[in-house]
Amino acid sequence: MSGSVPAILLTLNLAAVTTLILFVLGTPLAWWLANTRSRVRPFIEAITALPLILPPTVIGFYLLILLNPTAPIGRFWVTVTGDTLTFSFAGLVIASILYSLPFMVQPLQTAFDRIGRDQIEAAASLGASPLDRFFSLVLPLSARGFLTAGILTFIHTIGEFGVVLMVGGNIPGRTRTLSIALYDHVEALRYDQAHALAAGLVILSLIVLSLVYWLNRRSPRHDG
Amino acid sequence: MSGSVPAILLTLNLAAVTTLILFVLGTPLAWWLANTRSRVRPFIEAITALPLILPPTVIGFYLLILLNPTAPIGRFWVTVTGDTLTFSFAGLVIASILYSLPFMVQPLQTAFDRIGRDQIEAAASLGASPLDRFFSLVLPLSARGFLTAGILTFIHTIGEFGVVLMVGGNIPGRTRTLSIALYDHVEALRYDQAHALAAGLVILSLIVLSLVYWLNRRSPRHDG
Amino acid sequence: SAAAEEALIAVAANFTRPAEDLAAAFQAETGHTIRIATGSTGALYAQIRQGAPYDVFLAADTERPARLVADGLADADTLTPYAMGRLVLVGADTADLPPLDRLRAGDVQRLALANADLAPYGRAAEQVLDRLDVCLPERQRLRGQNVAQTLAMFTTGNADLAFIARAQLGGIGPSSASLIPADWHDPIRQDAVLLLQARDNEAARAWMDFLISPTATDILDAYGYGAAE
Amino acid sequence: MTDSGLEFDLTRRIGGFILRGRASLPACGIVSVSGSSGAGKTSLLRAIAGLDSGLSGQVRFAGETWHDGTCRMPVHRRRIGIAFQDTRLFPHQSVAGNLAYGAARAPAGTPGPDRAEIIALLDLHPLLKRAVAGLSGGERQRVSLGRALLSRPRLLLLDEPLSAVDTARRNRLLPDLRQLLLDHGIPALHVSHSRAEIAQLADHVLPVRDGQCGACHPLNDWLAAQDASHPFSLLEGHLAGHDTENGLSTVRLGEASLVLPGLGEVPAGASLRLIVRARDVALALDPVPGLSIRNQIPVRIKGIRPQPGTAYCDLDLALDGQVLTARITRAAADSLSLETGQSVIALIKSATLDPAQE
Amino acid sequence: MTDSGLEFDLTRRIGGFILRGRASLPACGIVSVSGSSGAGKTSLLRAIAGLDSGLSGQVRFAGETWHDGTCRMPVHRRRIGIAFQDTRLFPHQSVAGNLAYGAARAPAGTPGPDRAEIIALLDLHPLLKRAVAGLSGGERQRVSLGRALLSRPRLLLLDEPLSAVDTARRNRLLPDLRQLLLDHGIPALHVSHSRAEIAQLADHVLPVRDGQCGACHPLNDWLAAQDASHPFSLLEGHLAGHDTENGLSTVRLGEASLVLPGLGEVPAGASLRLIVRARDVALALDPVPGLSIRNQIPVRIKGIRPQPGTAYCDLDLALDGQVLTARITRAAADSLSLETGQSVIALIKSATLDPAQE
Ligand SMILES: Nc1ncnc2c1ncn2[C@@H]1O[C@H](COP(=O)(O)OP(=O)(O)OP(=O)(O)O)[C@@H](O)[C@H]1O
Ligand SMILES: Nc1ncnc2c1ncn2[C@@H]1O[C@H](COP(=O)(O)OP(=O)(O)OP(=O)(O)O)[C@@H](O)[C@H]1O
Ligand SMILES: [Mg+2]
Ligand SMILES: [Mg+2]
C-alpha cells in the first residue's frame, strides 16, 4: 500500500483541481442554461451531456490527437509553458474536466431550474446586483445541487481511468493515478495488493462521503 | 459500420433496460433520502455515490467474483434461469445498474429536495394518497430532475466500458456493446472504422439529445 | 464428427487482426465457426477464472496460460506456443537517422513503451534499454498498458519513438522502423491453451491443431511474427 | 355514527409556541376562528387537518376518530377541503386543472356543489384556461377556494380565504358562499381578520388568543362581547312593509317600528336581524320635532355602564323585551341626568341602519 | 436633479391583459393605489420597479430615468423597497438575516430609519432569531415590510403589506408608519383593499380599473367621490383643549367647535383632520335641548343632492368656509321642508368621531 502514496496524492490533487475548475466553468454554464430563452439551448444541453457517450479510452485517443505537441492546442501550450500538454498533469486536468463536465453541469442546472424568480426579484429590489444575488441567494438555495455536482465530479475523477491512462501515460508520480495503479495490480495478477488498495479506497471514501453528507444534513427542504 | 449493428442494438437495449430499472429502483431511494430524518441517511447517501470511486475494470473484477456461478448470487441465478449471470445480458444489466446508480439517485434527490411540503400538503387535503401525490405532483414538478437522471444514466451506460467488458466478456452479439466494439477498433488499429463509428455515435447522440432537450424546453421554471 | 461446430476464442487485444485472418482461413478449411472475444490478457485470465464461456485462450504471454493450467482450468496437454513476437522501434520517417540510432544518440524527447508489468513487449523493451544503457528519465518514458496504446501514443504524435510489435507495423502510416535483434531480450512467446470446459468442442480442438499448421504459420509470418520454436 | 360535528381536545408545541384547544363544534354551520396575528389560528386548522406531527390529544369528526394519541388517520382520507392562507395552487396545472384535482379524487357519487355552481359563485370562468403563474393575488384565492369546494369535502377549513379580494366582490360573494355551505350541509371552520367577513359568514365564533382556544360563542354574543369599544345590538323583528317611493322599509319590533332603507326585495312578514351600532344610537328626553332623525323610539333605561378609560358610558335600553345598547359620552349622560328606570327616546338615523353599508 | 417625484407613462401587455398608466406623483407623501382584485395594481408596481420586461414607455424618478423605451436601469440600482404581496422572505436566513439583507446593501451613509426604530415600529423583536418557515402570515408581512424599510429605499412600493395583520395591530401601526415615512421623506406607493388603511396612510389615491390608471386624486376627493354610498367629509381644524375628566377633546373649526373623545395625547393648538361620515350627520331645524348629541353646529345648506336609486339625499352644509356633508333620507328632508340657503343645525354624535373606531 505504501507504494500507492504518490498515486493517492496525485489522484486527490487531480480530483480537487478538476472539481474546482469545473465549479468555476460549470456554474455559469448551468446558470445560463437554466435561464436562457435562446433557441440553441437544447443543442448546448446535448453537448454538455455528450462527453459520456464515448468510452473513456476512445475519448483519450481523440484527446491524444487533439492535444499532441504538433496540434495547434498542444503546440500553443508548449510555447507558453515549455511542457507538453499530453502526459502532464495539465493534460490530465483538461481530460478530466472534459470527461466530468456532465456531472457538474447537469445537477447544477436541475438545482437552478427550481429556484423561482420570486426570491431573485426580492433580492434585486433590496439592492443586490446579479452577482451578489447569485452568491447570497442562488448559491445557498441550491446548496444540495452544488454538493451533488461536486461529489459526482470529484468521485468520477477519482474513478476515472481510461481517459487518464491514455492522456497521462501512467508515469509514476506524474500521471499514474490511483485507479491506474489499481488496474495494474489486477492486470498483473497482484490480487492481494489490488484487494487492499480497493478496500482502502472504498472505506476511506465511505467515511469521507458520509461526513460530507452528514455536514450537509440540514437540507433546505421543508421551507416552501 | 454494418458490422456494428448487433453491437448498437445490444447497447441501446442495455442502456434502455438499465435506465428503466434504475428509474424504478432509484426513484423511491432518492425520495426516501430526500425526506427521511433517519440518522443513517448520510451513510446511505455516501453508499449511493460510491460505485464511481473504483475504476470500472476493478468494479468489473469484483462483480465477476460476486456474480460467478459458484458464488451465492450467481448460483441462485443459475438454478432459477439455467443461465449464468456473468457473461450474459442479465449480468451486464446488473453491472450497469450498479455502476450508474449515482447518476440516477443523486440528480433525483436534488430535484426532490427542492419540492416544498406546501404543495404536497395541499394535494393531501384534496384527497390524494401518497402514491397519487407522487405521480400527480412530485413527478411533474421534478420533471427536469428525471430528465437529467435519465439522460446521465442512459448515456453513461452507453459509454460505459470497463465494467461491461469485464463482466460481459466481449462476446459478439451477446455482450459486445458499442463502446467495446469501438475500443476494439482502436486497439486493433482499425482507426478508420473507429473514426466512423465514433463520429456516427456522436452525431446520432447529439441529434437525439437535442431533440429530447428541445421537447423539454418548457421547463417548470418561473412558476414560483 | 463432420458437423460444423463453433468455438469462442479469447484473444489478447493486440493479436486481434491476425486472429481474424486465422479464423477466416480456418473456417474456409474446416467449416467450423470461430468467434473472437478480445481483451487484455490479465482481464481475460480473470474472466476465465470466473467461468467465462471461452473455449480457447490465446494469451500475449506464457505466464497466464500456465497459471490456468495450474488452476486446473486448462488442458496442460494443449499448451502451445503459437507465435513469437518481435520488437521494433519506430520513429518518424522524416528523421535522418534510423530510430535505433536516435535512441542510442539520446535524440529522443518521449519514448513510448508498454508497461513491463503487464505486457511482454514492455519487459522486452526495458531489457533493450538496459542493454543499450540508455538512461532516460522516468518522465520521458510513456507507458501504455499494452502495445496498442503504446502505438497510439506514437501515431497521435505524442511520442517520437515507440517500442511496438512488428505485427503492428502494417497498421501505421509512413514511418521508419528498426527491428530489434531477437537475442537482445527474452523471447516474447505467446502461448495458446484449450480450456477444460471445451474438451469436447470439435471446433476448438481443430483450432488448436490449426494454430501450428503451415497455413497458420504463413499468415503469422506475413504479420511479422517469428515462428514458434 | 353520531350526529356530532367536530370535536377536539389537543395540545401542540412548536418551538416556543404552545397551542391548546378543546371544543365541540356543531355538525353544521360555519364557525369563524378569530384572533390576532400569530395567535395560532393557522396552527389550529393544521392540527385539525392532521398536517402536523407532534400533536397530542384527540380530534373526532362526525363520530369518526381522526386523531387519538399516536393513531392518526392520514390527511387524504379525512376528506377536508382547505383553502390555505398562501393558496398553494399547483404551478404545473392550469386553473381548470387545479379545480379538477380535488374533484377527480372525490369518491364517486358523493353529494356536493357541482362545478358550474362553484365557477359561477367565484366568477372563475374567465380564468379557467389561464396558467396559475399569471393570476393576481385575489384571483389565486378564488381559485384556491373553488378547488377546496370542488373536492366535495365533509369539512371545510378556510384560512383567510378572501383577504386579497376587494370589499365589493367579497360582499357579493359571502352571502352566496354561506348559502351554498348551508344548502349542502358542509360545516366550515373559517379564519379571518375582518369583522365584516365574520359577521356575514359565521354562525359561531371560536376565539383564539396566545395559542389558547376559548369557548365557542354564537355570533351575536361574540359581536357584542368581543370588543367593548364597538358594542352592537342585535334586534329581531319582521318586515312590515315598503315605502317604494322613498326607498324605505319599515321593520316592526313588537310595538315599536324602525324605518330603514334598501330592503326592497325582502317579502313583507319575513323575519330579520338588524345590527344596530351602539354609537349610532342617540338619546333624547322627549320626542324631538324638526329633526332629520325619523326613528324616535320610546325605551326605558335598564342599566347605565360607564366605560372606564374612555369618554363613554353605555346604556342598555329595554325595547319591547329586547335590549338596545346606546353609547354616548359620559358628559352627555351627566348633562341629561339619565338614570336607570327612566323613560327616554332612542334616536336612530335610518342611514346608519342601511344593510348595504359594511 | 429636479424636485419631481415619480413620473410614468407606460404600457404593458401580459397575455390578454393590458396595463396603461400615466401619472406624475408628488416627490413625497404616500399614494395609495386602489382598484378591485385583478385591476392591475400589482402589475403597475412591478412595471415601476422594473421587474417585468416588455414594458414600453417611460418611468422617471427624482429626475432620473429608470425606463425609456429599450433603455432600462437595473432593478438593484433603483433603490426601491418592495413589500411583495406574497412577502418573499428568504427561506435560508433567519428573520434577522432577512432584515439585514437590504440594510447591508444600502450605500453607506444613506439617511433613513434605523434598525431599532423599525424593529420597534413593527414589533419584530420577539421574531428576530426565528426561522422564516415558522412565521404566521401576519408575522411574515411585518418582516417583509421591515426588510423593505431597512434597505433605505428612495421609493417604497407596498403591495397589500398588512392584509394578514389583525385590525387592532394595523390601526396601531399605520399612523406610526405614516409618520416614519414622512419624517424620512420616503415617498411610497401603497396597494390596499381596505378603505380604512388607505384613509389612514395616504395623501393621494391613484385609482386603477381594468388595467387603466386613472388620475391621481387627493385623499379627501377620492374618499368623497369613489363610492357615492359612503360619503365622507374631511374637516381641517385645530385642537382647542382637553376635558380630561370626561376623556373628551374640543376641536375648533373656525367659529364652530366639535367635541370628540380620545385625543388625549395631541398637544393643544395642533392641527388635525377629522373624517366625518355623512350618514353620521343629522339635521335639526333648531337647537335641540335634552339630547345626548352634544355637537350641535349651526350650518347653512349649500346644496341638496337627491341620490337616485337610494332612499337618500345628501346635503352640503357650509361650515365656516368648509363643507360638511350630511346624508339623510329623502323622506326626512321632505318632512323638514329643507331648502338651499336655509340655516339649520348639524347634529354629530361624539361617539361617531372617535378616531379609535375603524
Ligand atoms: N418554530 C417555532 N418557534 C416559535 N414559535 C413558532 C414556531 N412556529 C410557529 N410559531 C408561532 O406560532 C404562532 C402561531 O402561528 P399561526 O400561523 O398559527 O398564527 P395565525 O394565528 O395563523 O396568525 P396570522 O393571522 O398572522 O396568520 C406564531 O406566533 C408563530 O410565530
Ligand atoms: N398571462 C396573462 N394572461 C392574461 N391575463 C393576465 C396574465 N398575467 C396577468 N394577467 C391579468 O392581469 C391582471 C392584473 O393582475 P395584477 O396582479 O396586477 O392584479 P391586482 O390588481 O394586483 O389584483 P389583486 O388585488 O388580486 O392582487 C389580472 O386580472 C391577471 O389575471
Ligand atoms: Mg395564519
Ligand atoms: Mg396584487
> What confidence tens digit (pLDDT) does each residue in E115-142 have?
999 999 999 999 999 999 889 999 999 9
Q: Which residues line ligand 1 (CB under 6 A)?
A: D 14-17, 35, 37-43, 85; E 130, 134-139, 164
pLDDT for position A179: 77
Please tell me what DSSP assigns to residue D267. P
* Nearest by Cα to C180 from C108, C65, C87: C87
Grid cell listed for D33: 376562528
Expressed in percent and rounded to 5, the helix, strand and coil fractions of chain B are 75, 0, 25
**With an 8 Å Cβ cutoff, are B119 and D88 in contact?**
yes
Please report the ipTM that was assigned to this predicted complex: 0.80
Please check whether residues E203 and E236 belong to one and the same domain: no
Mutate which of E136, E143, E144, E163 for ligand 1 pocket (most atoms within 8 A of beta carbon): E136
Rounded Cα distance between C180 and C104, Å, is 13
Please check whether residues D19 and D157 belong to one and the same domain: yes
The answer on pLDDT for D132 being more than 90 is yes
**With an 8 Å Cβ cutoff, are E101 and A223 in contact?**
no
HSE, CB side, 13 Å, CA atoms: give it for residue D90. Answer: 28
Of E86, E92, E147, the CB nearest to A126: E147
Please check whether residues D72 and D193 belong to one and the same domain: yes
Grid cell listed for C11: 484473444
DSSP string, B60-129: HHHHHHHHSTTSHHHHHHHHHHSS-STTSHHHHHHHHHHHHHHHHHHHHHHHHHTS-HHHHHHHHHTT--
Interface test with A, best of E90, E145, E155 (most A CBs within 10 A): E90
DSSP string, B21-75: HHHHHHHHHHHHHHH---TTHHHHHHHHHGGGTS-HHHHHHHHHHHHSTTSHHHH
Rounded Cα distance between B104 and B25, Å, is 9
The answer on pLDDT for B152 being more than 80 is yes
User: Is pLDDT larger for residue A76 or for residue D233?
Assistant: A76
B34–A contact, CB cutoff 8 A? yes
Please check whether residues E77 and E91 belong to one and the same domain: yes
Please check whether residues D95 and D209 belong to one and the same domain: yes
* Nearest by Cα to C35 from C201, C180, C179: C201
Beta bridge partners of E242: E249
Which residue, E191, E226, E261, sits at the end of a domain?
A: E226
pLDDT for position E268: 78
Nearest CA distance, A70 vs chain C (angstrom): 7
A103–B contact, CB cutoff 8 A? yes
CB A6 within 8 A of CB A172: yes
* Nearest by Cα to E112 from E141, E63, E60, E149: E149
pLDDT for position E355: 60
Grid cell listed for B196: 466512423
A209–C contact, CB cutoff 8 A? no
For residue A172, which amino acid is it? P
* Nearest by Cα to A115 from E217, B114, C24: B114
Question: Can you tell me which residue has the cell 428541445?
Answer: B214
CB E158 within 8 A of CB E83: yes
Is E16 close to ligand 2, i.e. is its CB under 6 Å away? yes
Other beta carbons less than 10 A from residue B195's beta carbon: 15
User: Is pLDDT larger for residue D186 or for residue A59?
Assistant: D186
Asked if residue E357 belongs to a domain, the reply is no
Of D166, D229, D246, the CB nearest to E311: D246
Asked if residue E206 belongs to a domain, the reply is yes
pLDDT tens readout for residues B75-104? 888 888 888 888 888 888 999 999 899 989
HSE, CB side, 13 Å, CA atoms: give it for residue A146. Answer: 17
Alpha helices by DSSP H, E64-133: 75-78, 95-105, 115-122
The residue of chain E nearest to residue D15, with distances taken between CA atoms, is E134
- Please give the distance, rounded to the nearest whole angstrom, from the Cα atom of residue E41 to the centre of ligand 4: 6
A3–C contact, CB cutoff 8 A? no
B174 dihedral zone (left: phi>0; alpha: psi -120 to 50; beta): alpha
Asked if residue E358 belongs to a domain, the reply is no
pLDDT tens readout for residues B36-85? 888 899 999 999 888 878 778 788 888 888 888 888 888 888 888 888 88
Query: A5: burial class by Cβ within 10 Å (0-12, 13-18, 19+)?
Result: exposed
Number of domains in chain E: 2
Please check whether residues D45 and D172 belong to one and the same domain: yes
Asked if residue D358 belongs to a domain, the reply is no
Grid cell listed for D94: 392550469
Asked if residue E200 belongs to a domain, the reply is yes
* Nearest by Cα to B48 from A101, A150, A152: A152
The answer on pLDDT for D102 being more than 70 is yes
Strand pairing report for E188-191 and E155-159? parallel
Point out the ligand nearest to the CA of residue D163: 2
The residue of chain A nearest to residue C153, with distances taken between CA atoms, is A64
CATH number, domain with residue D99: 3.40.50.300
Mean pLDDT of E258-268: 75
Grid cell listed for C178: 528498426
Distant-in-sequence, close-in-space partners of D63: CB < 8 Å, separation ≥ 6: D1, D2, D4
Rounded Cα distance between A66 and A74, Å, is 7
Asked if residue D1 belongs to a domain, the reply is no
Q: What angle do CA E315, E318, E320 make, to 5 degrees?
A: 155
**With an 8 Å Cβ cutoff, are E292 and D282 in contact?**
yes
CB D35 within 8 A of CB D41: yes
Other beta carbons less than 10 A from residue B165's beta carbon: 29
pLDDT for position B216: 77
CB B164 within 8 A of CB B91: no
Of B69, B165, B188, the CB nearest to C39: B165
Of B68, B170, B191, the CB nearest to C50: B68
Beta bridge partners of D283: D346
**With an 8 Å Cβ cutoff, are D92 and B132 in contact?**
no
Which CATH architecture group holds A2-218? Orthogonal Bundle (1.10)
Please tell me what DSSP assigns to residue C72. T
Of C35, C38, C151, the CB nearest to B189: C151
Radius of gyration of chain B (CA): 20
Q: Do chains C and D touch (3 or more CB pairs under 8 A)?
A: no
CB E339 within 8 A of CB E304: yes
Rounded Cα distance between E35 and D166, Å, is 8
For residue C2, which amino acid is it? A
Rounded Cα distance between C128 and D66, Å, is 86
Of B57, B186, B190, the CB nearest to C152: B186
D contact residues 275-304, partner E, Cβ 8 Å cutoff: 278-280, 282-286, 288, 290-294
Chain D residues touching residue E327 (CB < 8 angstroms): 351
Nearest CA distance, D63 vs chain E (angstrom): 31
Chain A residues touching residue B110 (CB < 8 angstroms): 107, 110-111, 144-145, 148
Q: What angle do CA E303, E304, E308 make, to 5 degrees?
A: 140
Distant-in-sequence, close-in-space partners of D156: CB < 8 Å, separation ≥ 6: D80, D81, D82, D83, D148, D149, D181, D186, D187, D188, D189, D190
Please check whether residues E190 and E241 belong to one and the same domain: no
The answer on pLDDT for D299 being more than 60 is yes
Each of the 224 residues of chain A gets a pLDDT tens digit; together they read 456 777 888 888 999 999 999 999 999 999 999 988 888 999 999 998 888 787 787 788 888 888 888 888 888 888 888 888 888 888 889 989 998 999 899 889 988 987 878 899 999 999 999 999 999 999 999 988 899 899 989 988 888 777 777 777 777 777 777 777 887 887 777 888 888 888 888 888 888 888 888 887 754 443 33
Which residue, E199, E226, E253, sits at the end of a domain?
A: E226
pLDDT classification of E82: cutoffs 50, 70, 90: very high
Mutate which of D10, D12, D13, D14 for ligand 1 pocket (most atoms within 8 A of beta carbon): D14
Other beta carbons less than 10 A from residue E241's beta carbon: 13
Point out the ligand nearest to the CA of residue E21: 2
**With an 8 Å Cβ cutoff, are B189 and C17 in contact?**
yes
Rounded Cα distance between D28 and D6, Å, is 9
- Please give the distance, rounded to the nearest whole angstrom, from the Cα atom of residue E36 to the centre of ligand 4: 9
Is E292 close to ligand 2, i.e. is its CB under 6 Å away? no
> Which domain does E327 fall in, by range?
232-348
pLDDT classification of E299: cutoffs 50, 70, 90: very high
For residue D146, which amino acid is it? G
Is E284 close to ligand 2, i.e. is its CB under 6 Å away? no
**With an 8 Å Cβ cutoff, are B122 and D82 in contact?**
yes
Please check whether residues E68 and E178 belong to one and the same domain: yes
Asked if residue E264 belongs to a domain, the reply is yes
Rounded Cα distance between E293 and D342, Å, is 18
Q: Whose CA is nearest to atom 12 of ligand 1?
A: D17
Please tell me what DSSP assigns to residue E329. E
Distant-in-sequence, close-in-space partners of E295: CB < 8 Å, separation ≥ 6: E258, E259, E260, E346, E347, E348, E349, E350, E353
Nearest CA distance, B128 vs chain A (angstrom): 19
Beta bridge partners of D326: D315
Is D341 close to ligand 2, i.e. is its CB under 6 Å away? no
Most confident of the following: A16-25, C58-67, D111-120, E25-34: A16-25
**With an 8 Å Cβ cutoff, are A155 and B217 in contact?**
no
Rounded Cα distance between B140 and B220, Å, is 9
The residue of chain D nearest to residue E161, with distances taken between CA atoms, is D164
Grid cell listed for E122: 413593527
- Please give the distance, rounded to the nearest whole angstrom, from the Cα atom of residue D136 to the centre of ligand 2: 4
Cα-flanking dihedrals φ and ψ of residue D306, to 5°? -60, 140
Rounded Cα distance between D298 and D342, Å, is 11
Please check whether residues E183 and E48 belong to one and the same domain: yes
Asked if residue E1 belongs to a domain, the reply is no
3-state secondary structure of D335: helix
Work out the end-to-end distance of chain B between its first and last CA atoms, rounded to an integer number of angstroms. 49
Which residue, D162, D196, D226, sits at the end of a domain?
A: D226
- Please give the distance, rounded to the nearest whole angstrom, from the Cα atom of residue E288 to the centre of ligand 2: 54
